Amino acid sequence: MRVLVTGASGFLGRAVAARLSAGGHTVRTFQRRPSGVPGVEDVHGSITTPADTPYAGLAYAVSGMHAVVHLAAKVSLTGDPAAFEAVNVGGTRTVLQASQDARVARFVYVSSPSVAHAGSSIMGADALPASPDHARGDYARSKARAELLALAADAPEFSVVAVRPHLVWGPGDTQLIDRIVDRARSGRLPLLGHGAALIDTTYVDNAASAIHAALDAADRVHGQSYVITNGEPRPVAELLAGICGAANVAAPAWRVPAPVARGAGALIEAIWRRRPGADEPPMTRFLAEQLSTAHWFDQRRTRADLNWTPAVSLDEGFERLAAHYSPAP
C-alpha cells in the first residue's frame, strides 16, 4: 500500500512512518522539516497552505496514495486560539480535500482523548463523542472539531477512522518525558493531591502499531473513533516515579492540592497570554485537571475491532527508557 503520513517529524509521526515502512508499505511524508525516517520520501510543506497552491507540495504528496495517516497538528498547552483553529481544523480540512481529490481510499485521523474530556474523571469508558463545546482548552476544542470534520467525510469510497492515542511516551520524547525529567531534576515537579488518580498511557511503539492496525481495518471500521492505550492504568504518582527512576532523578516528593493547582494554572495562563515564555507554562488548568483526575479507558472494542494488542508493557517501556538515559558502555 502507498501511504502518506503527515506530521512525520514529530515523535509519534516518525514512529508511525517507520512502522509502516518496516511493514512493507511505500511511505511518503509531508511536513515542514525532514522526518529523519530511513526509506521514506519526504515532501516539505504546510497543511495550512491550500493544496492547489503552486509548489505547496500537498497535492503532489497525496497523489498516487492509497491511504493517508494525518498526524500533523499544533500541540501545545497554550497559544493563539486562531493558530489552533488554522492548523488543526483548517489544516485537516485541506488534507481531507486533497485526499478526496486524489481518490485516496483510506484516511486515518489521529485525534486525542482530550476531545471528549470535560474536566471530570473518565473511568473505564470507551471512546466518548468528541465535544468541541465541552473539551478543555484550545488544543482539545480544535482537535474535537477536526475529528468531527474528518468523520463527516467518511463515505463508501473514502473510509475514515479516528484514533485517539492517550499520553504517548517513550525514549526520545521531548514533549512529555523530557519535560517531566527536567522539572523533576530542578525540583519543580509536584504531585497534585495524593497522586492516586489512575491514568492510562501508551508506549510509542504500541501507539504506532495501533495506528497501523486502524489503517489495515479502515474498510471494516470506518466512521468510528477508538481510544488507544496500553490498557494498564497506574496511579499518576507511580507513573511519574517510573519515568523519574528511569532517568535517575528523584521522583516528586512535594504535593499541591488539586484546587490550588487549578487556580494557579488559570493565573499562569492569563500571564502567559500577555508574556509568553520560551517553553510550555509550568501549569495550566487543563494540565492540573489531567494530573488530578482519573482517565482510563475500556480497550475491549479497540482491540477486537482493530485486531490489535499492545506488544510493549509499561514495565518494559520503563526499562527501554532507562536504557535510553543510561546506554550500555
What's the pLDDT at 271? Answer: 65
Proportion of the chain in helix, strand, coil states, percent, rounded to 5: 40, 15, 40
The SS3 call for residue 223 is coil
| 174 belongs to a structural domain | no
- Does residue 237 form part of some domain? no
pTM of the model: 0.92
- Phi, psi of 216, deg, nearest 5: -65, -35
| CATH code of residue 115 | 3.40.50.720
- Provide the residue range defining the domain that includes 89: 2-168+202-231+296-311
- Collapsed DSSP state (helix, strand, coil) of residue 67: strand
Does residue 327 fall inside a structural domain? no
Q: Is residue 103 part of a domain?
A: yes
**Would you call 309 helix, strand, or coil by DSSP?**
coil
- CB-count burial class (<10 Å; 0-12, 13-18, 19+) for 239: buried
Q: Between vectors from CA 16 to CA 171 and to CA 243, what angle results, nearest 5°?
A: 20
Assign 51 to helix, strand or coil.
Answer: coil
Does residue 65 lie within any of the structural domains? yes
The count of structural domains within the chain is 1
User: Does residue 99 form part of some domain?
Assistant: yes
Which residue, among 109, 116, 105, 223, has the nearest Cα to 158 in the 3D structure? 105
Question: Catalytic residue numbers?
Answer: 139
Q: Which residues pair with 6 in a beta bridge?
A: 30, 70
In terms of C-beta density within 10 A (0-12 exposed, 13-18 middle, 19 or more buried), how is residue 128 classed?
middle
d(CA 84, CA 91): 10
Largest CA distance in the chain: 55
> In this structure, is residue 325 part of a structural domain?
no
Is residue 301, in this structure, part of any structural domain at all?
yes
- Predicted confidence pLDDT, tens digits, the chain (329 residues): 999 999 999 999 999 999 999 999 999 999 988 998 999 999 999 998 766 664 468 999 999 999 999 999 988 767 788 888 999 999 999 999 999 999 999 999 999 999 988 767 888 989 989 988 988 888 899 999 999 999 999 999 999 999 999 999 999 998 888 888 888 888 887 777 778 889 999 999 999 999 999 999 999 999 999 999 999 999 988 999 999 999 999 888 777 776 676 676 666 666 666 666 666 666 566 666 767 778 899 999 999 999 999 999 999 999 999 999 886 55
Reading across the β-sheet that carries 295-297, which strands appear in turn? Answer: 122-125, 295-297, 198-199, 234-235
d(CA 197, CA 290): 9
Sign of the dihedral defined by the CA atoms of residues 259, 260, 262, 267, in that order: positive
